[in-house]
Amino acid sequence: MINKLVEKIQKMDAPVVVGLDPTMKNIPDYIIKKAIEEYGETLEAAAEAVWEYNKGIVDAIYDIVPAVKPQIAMYEQFGLEGLKAFKKTVDYCKSKDMVVIGDVKRGDIGSTSESYAIAHLGRVTVGSKRIAAFDEDFATVNPYLGTDGIKPFVDVCREEKKGIFVLVKTSNPSSGEFQDRLIDGKPLYEIVGEKVNEWGSDCMGNDYSYVGAVVGATYPEQGELLRKVMPKAYILVPGYGAQGGKGSDLAHFFNKDGLGAIVNSSRGIIAAFKQEKYAKFGAEHYAEASRQAALDMIEDINSARK
């Protein structure tokens, strides 16, 4: 799957992923209104609105953006109905040949991590059958529990030719609270980065590993260092746009081959119609606004990496 991701990024010349993180605040009113008219003020209505909204965005961007990253929390808050919309979104994006990164930030130990890996990337055994549950292409994983928590994911990735992105240095303001603390003179994120390298060393695609990393756009200096620490890890870069990261900050997240990083924007793309810059599209044409914002983002990122 890492090979497919790299190929799609090269073909579209777009190292960009769109975060499908729908909230009731960002979905145009007319979509919510229609769903509530049909299903009442219920979780089903919310899930229907989420799905309609997502579908519009995906239809508008699938030919220019290689990947999507649905944030499962945004669906989980609507319970089972929300998770139905998550699964429908995953399947729909895959039918459009987009690479799907499940932003699930799971992580536990041993057999429990294995179950999470199976849930999102693998297949579960029922009787004589092996059945996929959520079936994303990649998942994000939390490293706090150490190798025991990561290894089961790596094993499933190897078997299914899928991938993970391990949280290394996150984009949020307080990420330094633990991640920046010095251990024998090195920040914790660097030590985690070294482990990412190690975990990924025996499951390589053509040029990059099945095991990637998450490093926030809001920390360009750390990005530059981590790029060197994990030369074979694809870096998933959140924090661009709404969180404050700029294209010009991102040059050093890429390798000299112009590859090695994929930059995420969520609100900046999916709620583009709410920005002054794209307001002319209007809420009814929110998806066209998203397409234009994606094109602008691709140009911004490409000017930084080339």
Catalytic residue numbers? 105
Interaction between residue 191 and its own copies (CB under 8 A): yes
Interaction between residue 113 and its own copies (CB under 8 A): yes
Site for its own copies in 118-147 (CB under 8 A): 118-120, 124-129, 131, 133-134, 142-147
Interaction between residue 45 and its own copies (CB under 8 A): yes
Q: Kindly write out the interface string for residues 161-190 of this chain, putting x where it contacts its own copies by CB under 8 A and - elsewhere.
A: ------x--xxxxxxxxxx-xxxx---x--
Please report the sign of the dihedral spanned by the C-alpha atoms of residue 148, residue 117, residue 228, residue 244: negative
Indicate the residue among 112 and 275 with the shorter CB distance to its own copies: 112
| Binding piece for its own copies, criterion CB under 8 A, among 93-101, 191-199, 275-283, 288-296 | 191-199
Residue pair 241/265 in contact (Cβ under 8 Å)? The answer is yes
Identify the DSSP state of 218. Answer: T
Interaction between residue 31 and its own copies (CB under 8 A): no
Interaction between residue 148 and its own copies (CB under 8 A): yes
Tell me whether strands 182-183 and 186-187 are parallel, antiparallel or unpaired. Answer: antiparallel
Site for its own copies in 93-112 (CB under 8 A): 105-112
Q: Cα(78)–Cα(45) distance, rounded to whole angstroms?
A: 10
Indicate the residue among 8 and 120 with the shorter CB distance to its own copies: 120
Indicate the residue among 180 and 288 with the shorter CB distance to its own copies: 180
Site for its own copies in 195-214 (CB under 8 A): 195
Site for its own copies in 60-89 (CB under 8 A): 71, 73-74, 76-80, 82-84, 87
Indicate the residue among 16 and 85 with the shorter CB distance to its own copies: 85
Residue pair 286/273 in contact (Cβ under 8 Å)? The answer is yes
Rounded to a whole number of angstroms, the minimum distance from the CB of residue 53 to its own copies is 14
Angle at 289 between CA 286 and CA 290, to 5 degrees: 90
Token readout for 306 is 């080339």
Q: Which of 218, 170, 210 is nearest to 192 (CA)?
A: 170
Continuous segment of H or E residues that includes residue 214: strand 211-215
Token readout for 107 is 């992580």
Query: What does 122-159 look like in DSSP terms, one character per residue?
Result: SEEEETTEEEESS--SEEEE--TT-HHHHHHHHHHHHH
Rounded to a whole number of angstroms, the minimum distance from the CB of residue 256 to its own copies is 30
